[in-house]
Amino acid sequence: MSYQVLARKWRPRSFREMVGQTHVLKALINALDSQRLHHAYLFTGTRGVGKTTIARIIAKCLNCETGITSTPCGTCSVCCEIDEGRFVDLIEIDAASRTKVEDTRELLDNVQYAPSRGRFKVYLIDEVHMLSSHSFNALLKTLEEPPPYVKFILATTDPQKLPATILSRCLQFSLKNMTPERVVEHLSHVLGVENVPFEDDALWLLGRAADGSMRDAMSLTDQAIAFGEGKVMAADVRAMLGTLDHGQVYDVLHALINGDAKALLEAVRHLAEQGPDWNGVLSEILNVLHRVAIAQALPEGVDNGHGDRDRVLALAQALPAEDVQFYYQMGLIGRRDLPLAPDPRGGFEMVLLRMLAFRPADTADAPRQPLKPVGISQATVDSAQTVAVPAPAVPVATVAPAPAVSAPIAPAPAPAPAPAPAPVAEPEPAPQPVAQAIAVEPVPVVAEAVVDLPWNDPVEPQIEQQPAVEPVLEVAAEQPELTPMPTPTPDSVVPDAPEWVSAPMPEPSVAEVDAATPGIDLDDEPPLDEDYIEPDIDSAYSYLDELASEHAAEPAPEPEPEPAAKPATGLALEWLELFPKLPISGMTGSIAANCTLMAVDGDNWLLHLDPAHSALFNATQQRRLNDALNQYHGRTLTLAIELIKPEQETPAQAASRRRADRQREAEESIHGDPFIQRMVQEFGAVVRHDTIEPVEALAAQG
């Protein structure tokens, strides 16, 4: 006797032998038991889920010699003939090969004849969506009102192609895909009965490869038995399918967690030995990350569809939630860009290295291991790390951290009292750089605002007593209450620093860049500052006003720096006075603006930088700031910068405080103006607070 494949040998012959599809079987069994039989049934679903099998079981239920029942005997001549595929009253039609209207008409001509042996004549039309439109039209009337002894059973994998007129004449049942768990359970039973040794991991590989089809799972199992010489082993199945070893995906993720670039590239090398589809490998990583995110949100919601539930839960414990989301998003973007890479493996490696290099910043409440050195800037990894880079041709002298006071630092071996802090020496008279701040006499703050009035025509009254206030009048419905302005922090007596520290600036031209950086050779430097150089605000108000309309759609400015815990005194105050005079701009200026001077020991200077700005900080920025100090003082200094939040006021915080003071004075000027008060009282005008801006009118006139 010839060998019979598992898919045919184990085809269900009754409803109780069916695997899954409970929602369909329940309706059919109840209908058969209560004799509520429909004349046309439509079964939809992907290949190998049981459409044709259920149709044949229905034919046995209708024609069994024991009567119409949901449990056919399986032993009578009718049941045996149907199982063997030779029952004359079960007409199986392949619509894919008989699409013409002539074939449909020939079928309908035989409908009028009564069944030869059975109780009902059953027409099973498989892949019915392949029929032509004329064939559907010819079938409509007979399908709606067939003879009482005729039953139509239609099956299709693409119900969207069926006309609505066909769908409305049938009872439609949608069969679901088989889950990997159900496929593995059924394969375990089949292989146990067949006495075939197997491994659970191999069955999970087959269950996932079947992609919801039980027939595909049985066919793949046949192939695996032949490949493994009578055994179903995971290694053989993996080699047969050419699928990725799931354990290697976890090797990649563990290397990412540990920040180990060597282990990461080693895992990629092992993957390359199998010649995988790198896009598919990235998809597997994304699938694992998705399940890890589910495990972190709802541990009991993690399925065991891949047989690795325990490993997923372990990853969920070891990997912070923000890292999971970051890696997932980075993987999605990398998968989109993978076809653009010169080499698929190189593109895959770049995605992993990008995940490694740009992992989220450390937080106190997120347990994780520190990154191992992989050649990236450690200033972005550890906010508490001190970076000290020497000036050119000068040895490094690391300055120890000092208390938050202006006391100098003495060498450790010296027991003598610490020397007095070296005062900041003024340079000899020399031509000042263009980027140096221009001293401007204090000018009174003048404000402009928009005021709404309850009429439609704009009014521009001329008031000689208030020449500096030019309100714009608009219509308003009602007058809101005036909110008193908050009292600002007391101002330290320090000169104004450039306002470009935190205010948004338009991108300057090449000529402006050259004019703003005299005496500094940038040919051998990476292009870090060129795209971010911003002009001095004290000398560029008019320039900003001219470009305001051109840059209205630019991104919103950075948030204002938080106020300092203490006002600047001692060395911190000297740094506020020195900062506007340094020939720096761009990102280097932004770094210096968020620093404060902590200690001066001869030519050794120690600065504290706010860790919130550490992303802009690197060795190049520190060297440029060191060069600017050397140029200003006319001697060689050694600069060390520590990533510690300053307690005293920095130049950026001082500039923010002065802007807040000017804004407050401008709003007080508007609210105290007699003309504005009279419009509010008599006409119900409303001052629009978001339009009040201080205007340096006198400075512009000078």
Q: Would residue 675 count as lying in a domain?
A: no
On whether residue 553 sits in a domain, the answer given is no
Residue 647: CB atoms within 10 A of its CB come to 15
Q: What order of strands is seen across the sheet that includes strand 595-601?
A: 386-388, 638-642, 604-609, 595-601
- Both 92 and 22 in a single domain? yes
CATH number at residue 224: 1.10.8.60
Do 76 and 93 share a domain, yes or no?
A: yes
Of the candidates 471, 585, 474, the one whose C-alpha atom is nearest the C-alpha of residue 537 is 585
With respect to residue 328, please indicate whether it lies within any of the assigned structural domains.
Answer: yes
- Residue 170 and residue 36 in one domain: yes
| Residue 151 banded pLDDT, cuts 50, 70, 90 | very high
For 162, the token pair is 């069926």
Q: What is the pLDDT of residues 585-623, one digit of tens each?
A: 888 888 888 898 888 888 888 888 888 887 778 888 888
Q: How far is the C-alpha of 285 from the C-alpha of 279, rounded, in Å?
A: 10
Three-class secondary structure of residue 172 per DSSP: strand
pLDDT above 60: residue 200: yes
What span, in angstroms and rounded, lies between the C-alpha atoms of 240 and 399? 64
334 close to 347: Cβ distance less than 8 angstroms: yes
Query: Average pLDDT in the 284-290 region?
Result: 90
Report phi then psi at 240, rounded to 5: -65, -45
What is the reported pLDDT for 123?
A: 92
Tell me what the pLDDT averaged over the chain comes to: 75
How far is 273 from 251, CA to CA, in rounded Å? 15
Q: Structural domain of residue 166, as residue ranges?
A: 6-174
171-174/472-475 β-pairing: unpaired
Tens digit of each residue's pLDDT (9 = 90 or more) over 115-136: 888 899 999 999 999 988 888 8
Please tell me whether residues 186 and 259 are part of one structural domain. Answer: no
630: confidence class by pLDDT, cuts 50, 70, 90 = confident
Residue 232 near residue 202 (C-beta atoms within 8 A): yes
Q: Which residues contact 576 (CB under 8 A, 6 or more apart)?
A: 492, 494, 495, 497, 568, 649, 651, 654
Please check whether residue 322 is in contact with residue 360, taking contact to mean a CB–CB distance below 8 angstroms. yes
* pLDDT of 541 strictly over 80: no
Q: What is the pLDDT at residue 216?
A: 92
Residue 502: partners with Cβ closer than 8 Å, 6 or more residues away: 557, 558, 560, 561, 593, 652, 655, 656
Confidence grade of residue 441 (pLDDT, cut at 50, 70, 90): very low
Give the span between the Cα atoms of 262 and 240, in whole angstroms. 30
Helices (H) and strands (E) in the chain, counts: 25, 12
Sign of CA dihedral 639, 641, 647, 649: positive
Chain centroid to CA 173: how far?
A: 39
**Average pLDDT in the 457-465 region?**
44
Residues 267 and 352 both lie in one domain: yes
Q: Which two tokens stand for residue 598?
A: 């902590």
Do 123 and 201 belong together in one domain? no
155 falls in which pLDDT band (50, 70, 90)? very high
Return the pLDDT at 693.
82
pLDDT (mean) for 350-356: 90
What per-residue confidence (pLDDT) applies to 512? 52
pLDDT value of position 696: 64
3-state SS, one letter per residue, for 505-535: CCCCCHHHHHHHCCCCCCCCCCCCCCCCCCC
Does 211 share its domain with 65?
A: no
Please report the pLDDT score of residue 570 as a whole number.
Answer: 84
pLDDT in tens, 465-507: 444 444 444 434 444 444 444 444 444 444 444 444 444 445 5
Q: What is the pLDDT of residue 29?
A: 93
* Cα separations in angstroms, 676 against 195, 475, 480, 662, 665: 97, 15, 14, 19, 15
Residue 11 covered by a domain: yes
- Model pLDDT for residues 642-688, shown as the tens digit of each residue: 888 888 888 888 888 888 888 888 888 888 888 888 888 888 888 88
Using CA atoms, how far apart are residues 63 and 83, in angstroms rounded to an integer? 13
Residue 282 has pLDDT above 60, yes or no: yes
pLDDT given at position 554:
45
**Nearest CA among 376, 358, 360 for reference residue 368:** 360
Note the pLDDT of residue 333: 92
What whole-number distance in Å separates Cα of residue 58 and Cα of residue 122?
9
Indicate the DSSP class of residue 186.
Answer: H
What's the pLDDT band for 242 if we cut at 50, 70, 90?
confident
Looking at the domain assignment, is residue 562 inside a domain?
A: no
**What's the pTM value of the predicted model, to 2 decimals?**
0.47
Give dist(CA 677, CA 668) in Å, integer: 12
pLDDT attached to residue 511: 52
Q: Among residues 241, 268, 288, which one ends one of the domains?
A: 241
200 and 139 within one domain:
no
Q: What is the pLDDT of residue 559?
A: 62
Q: Are strands 121-126 and 90-94 parallel, antiparallel or unpaired?
A: parallel
- For 579, which DSSP code? G
Could you give the dihedral angle defined by the CA atoms of residues 568, 571, 577 and 578, in that order, rounded to the nearest 10 degrees?
-140
Mean pLDDT of 95-105: 83
Within 10 angstroms of residue 675's Cβ, the number of other Cβ atoms is 14
Q: Is residue 51's pLDDT more than 80? A: yes
Strand partners of residue 566: 648
CATH number at residue 103: 3.40.50.300
254 and 344 fall within a common domain: yes
- For the segment 203-230, the average pLDDT, to the nearest whole number, is 90
Q: Which of 357, 378, 402 is the last residue of a domain?
A: 357
* Residues 233, 338 within the same domain: no
Residue 456 has pLDDT above 50, yes or no: no
> Helix, strand or coil for residue 435?
coil
Which pLDDT band holds residue 523 (cuts at 50, 70, 90)?
very low
Going through 95-204 in order, the beta strands assigned E by DSSP cover: 121-126, 150-156, 171-174
Is residue 585 within 8 A of residue 436, CB to CB? The reply is no
pLDDT value at residue 474 = 43
Give residue 450's pLDDT.
56
Task: Let me know the angle formed at the C-alpha of 49 by 47 and 54, rounded to the nearest 5 degrees.
Answer: 115
Q: Which long-range contacts (CB under 8 A, 24 or more apart) does 335-338 make?
A: 335/279, 335/282, 335/283, 335/286, 338/278, 338/279, 338/282
**Residue at 196 is within a domain:** yes
Q: How many separate domains does the chain show?
A: 3
Q: Which residue has the higher pLDDT, 29 or 450?
A: 29
Pairing outcome for strands 686-695 and 446-453: antiparallel
- Max Cα separation, the chain? 121
Q: Are residues 66 and 202 in the same domain?
A: no
Query: Cα 14 from chain centroid?
Result: 49
Is 304 part of any domain?
A: yes
Q: Are residues 210 and 343 in the same domain?
A: no
Query: Which one of 155, 174, 193 terminates a domain?
Result: 174
Instruction: Read off the CATH number of the domain in which 259 is found.
Output: 1.20.272.10
Summarised one tens digit per residue, pLDDT across range 556-582 is 455 667 777 678 788 888 888 888 888
**Distance of alpha carbon 564 from alpha carbon 541, whole angstroms:** 27
**157 assigned to some structural domain:** yes
72-81, 121-130, 284-293, 445-454: least confidently modelled range: 445-454
Q: From residue 359, give the alpha-carbon distance in Å to each of 311, 328, 368, 541.
A: 22, 12, 11, 40
**What's the confidence (pLDDT) of residue 276?**
81
Q: Report the DSSP beta bridge partners of residue 511.
A: none
Between the two ends of the chain, the Cα-to-Cα distance in Å is 110
